[in-house]
Amino acid sequence: MGTEEQGGQKQAGTVAPATGKLGVMVVGLGAVATTMIAGVEAVRRGLAKPIGSLTQMGTIRLGKRTENKSPKIKDFVPLADLNDIVFTGWDIFEDNVYEAAAHAAVLEKETLLQLKPYLETIKPLPAVFDQYYVKRLNGTHIKAGKNKRDLAEQVRADIQAFKKTVDRVVMIWCASTEIFIEPTAVHQSVEAFEKGLEENDIAIAPSQIYAYAALTEGVPFANGAPNLTVDFPAMVELSKRNAAPVCGKDFKTGQTLMKTVLAPAFKARMLGVSGWFSTNILGNRDGEVLDDPQSFKTKEESKLGSLDYIFQPELYPDLYKDLYHKIRINYYPPRGDEKEAWDNIDIFGWMGYPMQIKVNFLCRDSILAAPIALDLVLFMDLAKRSPELRSKGIQEWLSFYLKSPQSAPGLYPEHDLFIQLMKLKNTLRHIMGSDLITHLGLEYYD
Ligand SMILES: NC(=O)c1ccc[n+]([C@@H]2O[C@H](COP(=O)([O-])OP(=O)(O)OC[C@H]3O[C@@H](n4cnc5c(N)ncnc54)[C@H](O)[C@@H]3O)[C@@H](O)[C@H]2O)c1
């Protein structure tokens, strides 16, 4: 055991080093993906700093506070170096990453021009797509196959070909939000899922086909969107079987980030909340896709979860049982990627007296999401190299990044950002054989 402020067992650090090239396969080369790729290249060339990325800028305290030992996370755990990342991906449009980034209009023209020679070398592979699952899109750069099994095999072939050019591979979904799908019998086991692929089961969306191909190839899969993709028993089984980590879904970027910071503060002070109204305007392609009620439903479900779990109304009925939580997303083209979010929060304090809080977040969606996508890629690759983590299936310690964390069956997901961060850092300490930090700290007063 460690000192009183620390706790936990010492383990030998046995994580394999990050030698060679890390291949990153991105599904969907839209606003988020191109902003991530352009940003990584800008950092590599010394044109920008990786702001917003915990893996690149964050530190981790080791030992007692008096030891003053806080290395950078990337110097403590063996993460892939940004110079060793090789990107590829799929999209339903043929635009290369330069053209797609210019279309997304997140980054300034001059910045993109500086990066153009590199960005235009990344050309998307033809995608697995069916408009039934994303009503507002109609792509042209699409794979044809005799059934969903055949399409999965084609994605596996793409992965196998890419594997020949790099040392390790990770896949991340940065594609559009699919319609709301509830798990059915086909999702309950790998056998049922494979039969479903053969029979073109309607409950198997394209995102599931990519994920199935990745996990079958032993490739970790992260999901930046709220679709039902790896959060069902068949995928968790496949993930464990093939030591291919999965994690929760839907990047936690703007409004939900704020929610999972503010709600724990109210609960910590035992302040009640009677209403939380959240509305957004955004004008990018994501906004257009979410304008379809079925894609919006997928997003809404993902956004709604956090407050219920944080407030635990069953434990605090006087404070949170009657909370009215409403979320709106409005497609408003003039704003492009520069989303604006408003929250009106009705709270109450001592003797029930009401108060209000207004939050107005003028954010940039893809600027917030890009470093999250990068961190997920790097940490999923780390998990794959950790003998302790790689066969666990769900990487709950990555909940920090996601609106809908995934957890073991019967275990409620943790949404509080600060608990999530503690869990993430303690997981890193644990896999590296360092003492965990519990923040008890009585020994300083002996
Ligand atoms: N930006 C954020 O803050 C944020 C936060 C949470 C989640 N997300 C999610 O991330 C995803 C990406 O967001 P974005 O702003 O980059 O959207 P986007 O519309 O700019 O990009 C999505 C890309 O995916 C492509 N695509 C769609 N279906 C595909 C398929 N089956 N295969 C391959 N490509 C496909 C589209 O052609 C498009 O280029 C969305 O689902 C969004 O909801 C974004």
Q: Is the CB of 347 under 6 A from ligand 1?
A: no
Q: The dihedral of CA 229, 230, 231, 237: what is its sign?
A: positive
Tell me, in angstroms, the distance from the centre of ligand 1 to residue 137's CA.
11
Q: Is the CB of 342 under 6 A from ligand 1?
A: no
Tell me, in angstroms, the distance from the centre of ligand 1 to residue 286's CA.
6
Helix (H, G, I), strand (E, B) or coil at 142: strand
Classify residue 20 by burial, with Cβ atoms within 10 Å: 0-12, 13-18, 19+.
exposed
The pLDDT of residue 370: 98
Classify residue 100 by burial, with Cβ atoms within 10 Å: 0-12, 13-18, 19+.
buried
Q: What's the average model confidence in pLDDT over 335-356?
A: 95
Q: Which two tokens stand for residue 229?
A: 């993709």
- Taking the C-alpha atoms of residue 104 and residue 28, their distance in angstroms, rounded to an integer, is 12
- Are 125 and 175 contacting, i.e. CB atoms less than 8 angstroms apart? no
**Which of 123, 136, 176 to mutate to test ligand 1, by most ligand atoms within 8 A of the CB atom?**
176
pLDDT, tens digit, for every residue of 254-310?
Answer: 889 999 999 999 999 999 999 999 999 988 887 888 888 888 888 777 777 788 899
The pLDDT of residue 285: 80
pLDDT of 4 > 70? The answer is no
Tell me, in angstroms, the distance from the centre of ligand 1 to residue 46's CA.
27
Q: The dihedral of CA 87, 90, 96, 101: what is its sign?
A: negative
The pLDDT of residue 31: 96
Nearest residue (by CA) to ligand 1, atom 21, is: 30
- Choose among 204, 253, 251: nearest CA to 377: 251
Q: Which residues contact 55 (CB under 8 A, 6 or more apart)?
A: 73, 74, 79, 374, 375, 378, 379
Q: Is the CB of 104 under 6 A from ligand 1?
A: yes
**Which of 286, 296, 372 to mutate to test ligand 1, by most ligand atoms within 8 A of the CB atom?**
286
The pLDDT of residue 42: 98
Q: Which residues contact 181 (CB under 8 A, 6 or more apart)?
A: 203, 205, 227, 228, 298
- Taking the C-alpha atoms of residue 240 and residue 218, their distance in angstroms, rounded to an integer, is 9
- Taking the C-alpha atoms of residue 153 and residue 165, their distance in angstroms, rounded to an integer, is 19
Q: Is the CB of 329 under 6 A from ligand 1?
A: no
pLDDT of 207 > 50? The answer is yes
pLDDT of 2 > 70? The answer is no
Q: Is the CB of 426 under 6 A from ligand 1?
A: no
Tell me, in angstroms, the distance from the centre of ligand 1 to residue 176's CA.
3
The pLDDT of residue 37: 98
Pairing of strands 85-91, 125-126: parallel
The pLDDT of residue 337: 83
pLDDT, tens digit, for every residue of 405-427?
Answer: 999 999 999 999 999 999 999 99
Pairing of strands 272-282, 324-331: parallel
- Taking the C-alpha atoms of residue 331 and residue 288, their distance in angstroms, rounded to an integer, is 6
Nearest ligand 1 atom to the CA of 175 is: 24
pLDDT, tens digit, for every residue of 366-410?
Answer: 999 999 999 999 999 999 999 999 999 999 999 999 999 999 999
pLDDT of 137 > 90? The answer is no
Helix (H, G, I), strand (E, B) or coil at 389: coil
Q: Which helix or strand (DSSP H or E) is residue 128 part of?
A: none
One-letter identity of residue 73: I
What is the tally of helices (H) and strands (E) in the chain? 15, 13
Q: Is the CB of 204 under 6 A from ligand 1?
A: no
Q: Which residues contact 336 (CB under 8 A, 6 or more apart)?
A: 105, 106, 282, 283, 284
- Taking the C-alpha atoms of residue 363 and residue 254, their distance in angstroms, rounded to an integer, is 7
Bridge partner list, 347 = 273, 355
- Taking the C-alpha atoms of residue 264 and residue 326, their distance in angstroms, rounded to an integer, is 18
pLDDT, tens digit, for every residue of 37-70?
Answer: 999 999 999 999 999 999 999 999 999 999 999 9
The pLDDT of residue 49: 98
Q: Which helix or strand (DSSP H or E) is residue 327 part of?
A: strand 324-331
Angle formed by the axes of helices 233-241 and 190-198, to 10°? Answer: 110
- Are 75 and 18 contacting, i.e. CB atoms less than 8 angstroms apart? no
- Taking the C-alpha atoms of residue 393 and residue 401, their distance in angstroms, rounded to an integer, is 17
pLDDT, tens digit, for every residue of 13-24?
Answer: 589 999 999 999
Mean pLDDT of the chain: 93
The pLDDT of residue 44: 98
Tell me, in angstroms, the distance from the centre of ligand 1 to residue 254's CA.
16
Q: What's the average model confidence in pLDDT over 358-369?
A: 95
Nearest ligand 1 atom to the CA of 337 is: 15
Instruction: Say which residue the tokens 């929250």 belong to.
Output: 343
- % of the chain surpassing 90 pLDDT: 85
Nearest ligand 1 atom to the CA of 227 is: 41
- Taking the C-alpha atoms of residue 312 and residue 273, their distance in angstroms, rounded to an integer, is 12
- % of the chain surpassing 70 pLDDT: 97
pLDDT, tens digit, for every residue of 66-115?
Answer: 999 999 999 999 999 999 999 999 999 999 999 999 999 999 999 999 99
Q: Which residues contact 143 (CB under 8 A, 6 or more apart)?
A: 126, 127, 128, 129, 151, 154, 155
